[in-house]
Structure 1
Amino acid sequence: MSINSIIDSDLEDLIQNADGEDLSILADFITDKGSGRIALDASVCKVLNDASKAGMFTQSERSLLAEELRLFGGNGFANMMRGGRGVQYREIVCDVADHVKANYNAKAPIADIEFSVLTKVLEKSMEDMSEEDKKKLFEDFGVGYTQGAGPMTTAALIAAARASGFGIYKLTVIVANAVSKAILGRGIPVVVMAPWLRGISILTGPVGWALTALWTAFDLAAPAYRVTVPCVVHLAYMRQKAAVKRCKKCDAPMAIDAKFCSECGQAVA
């Protein structure tokens, strides 16, 4: 079990600085909740599963996590030609974006390409939502919902999210939480811990993002995409979480120019 030396700052930097509980979700996507996969070495599966259960990852285990994701991102022949090192994370994100038919620029920052994937998941999910759930989702972002708005519905929601300070982060939390609950049976840790998320009704409502819907919409029957699609969505959330400004008292996200926390009133130093 050797850690490769591939330079991939888009992935490595994020994983090396991430919270252990967020990495547990990533590890469970890769190991199929510890039950293993055909393309995953049994010893690697055990190491990642043990770290996932503990919620703690050493530096080498974090590198191993990144390595295994890169290996899933490339086909067997390509991995052999690369010396078993898999593919760069940017290549994985672009491949996933192509697979879900997202609109993206391959030269854009990695966060933008990840968000294009997440946006497509949201778009597909909204197709299966009831009008009432769509209304609740829009209300969570402080905007009105026009019934039967069609393809413009997702665009309007994203525009509202971009205009609300930390709205993009909030949106990634909602989508990543839904994907995690659908595939792993549990949501992301921040949803349980963060007081500022308790008012988001759509997190506990029937959002219609069932596992079967994800499988059908994005053809996740292919073993690699069963790993890479949810991993890219989760990494999109992790990247937004790492970039957002947080209150030092209650950990709520804040707009970059905020002087006080809107949740607890703490002054920003």
Structure 2
Amino acid sequence: MKHDKKMEDSTVRLTELLQEADQHERQLLIQYNFGEDREITIEELVRKIRSNGSHDVSRWIRGEAHYLEIVREFADRIHVSWDEQEDEEALEKRILAKVMQESWNNMTREQQQAVEKVVTPSGIEADYLSKLLIEDAFVQFLPTMGYLMTWNIARFIAAAVARGSGVALAEGWLGVVVAEMLGPLGIVAGALVFLSDAAGPAYRKIIPTVILIAYLRQKKQAVQPSR
């Protein structure tokens, strides 16, 4: 079936993405999903992600969820709409935008200005960014803003979730990847409060997993030679 092929392809793409990821990023995903460091294969990690994401009882009847199903269920939990034509990357972008929007709403103006200062070099004016966020229009517009904007937002949100995860490896990863972005702490607090309230305890492993995978996908786009 075409639907099944779309789902299977999303899991194949996830495996390929993790094969290209840095070792320390894979180790962070391992800690998110197993709760500890382990020496495992990428295939074993993908199976664990699928197992952790199979919350719907009906999925256990027909097998573990494919990655696109996991992303869709996460989107449903935080009230991000999707359609059958969207792949996982398109939906990941809108999840990131939704988290950014909710985080912004929890920031002071001083914190918002700190975020604007970091994001403006992505090629968007600070006033325009503020307007979209104030008007709750960011979810619709982020996918059209170009890879640099999406990349910076992905780093923000991945940093927020990693820093609040309690995973020991996360602090080292933050120091390497986003040290210059940790100033606006409002996005950290805002993203974590929003995700925790919206998704609930069953999603403690899947929330950081989906966010980090979205980050890895945008990182790959940002470092492509054609850019």
Range with bigger deviation, 230-239 or 72-81: 72-81
What SS does the aligned partner of 2:107 have?
Answer: coil
In the alignment, structure 1 residue 109 sits paired with structure 2 residue 115: no
Maintained 8 Å contact 1:104/1:116: no
- Assess, with a 3 A threshold, how the Cα gap between structure 1 residues 134 and 70 changes in structure 2: closer, same or farther: same
Q: Distance in 2 between matches of 1:151 and 1:207?
A: 19
Residue among 13, 19, 36 paired with 1:16: 19
In the alignment, structure 1 residue 169 sits paired with structure 2 residue 169: no
Matches within 5 A, 1:88-167: 88-142=66-120, 143-145=125-127, 150-152=134-136, 154=138, 158=142, 162-163=145-146, 166-167=148-149
- Assess, with a 3 A threshold, how the Cα gap between structure 1 residues 22 and 162 changes in structure 2: closer, same or farther: same
- Percentage identity across aligned positions? 18
Higher relative contact order (CA 8 A, sep 6+): 2
Which position in structure 1 is the counterpart of 2:183? 204
Q: Distance in 2 between matches of 1:28 and 1:228?
A: 12
User: Which structure has more helix as a fraction of its residues?
Assistant: 2
Maintained 8 Å contact 1:16/1:63: no
Q: Distance in 1 between matches of 2:13 and 2:224?
A: 22
Report how far residue 23 of structure 1 moved.
1.1
TM-score by length of 2: 0.77
Q: Distance in 2 between matches of 1:76 and 1:141?
A: 37
Moved over 6 A (4+): none
What SS does the aligned partner of 1:106 have?
Answer: coil
> Unaligned stretches of 5+ in structure 2?
1-7
> How many aligned residue pairs are there?
210
In the alignment, structure 1 residue 192 sits paired with structure 2 residue 156: no
Maintained 8 Å contact 2:51/2:64: yes
- Assess, with a 3 A threshold, how the Cα gap between structure 1 residues 169 and 180 changes in structure 2: closer, same or farther: same
Report how far residue 208 of structure 1 moved.
4.6
- Assess, with a 3 A threshold, how the Cα gap between structure 1 residues 111 and 215 changes in structure 2: closer, same or farther: closer
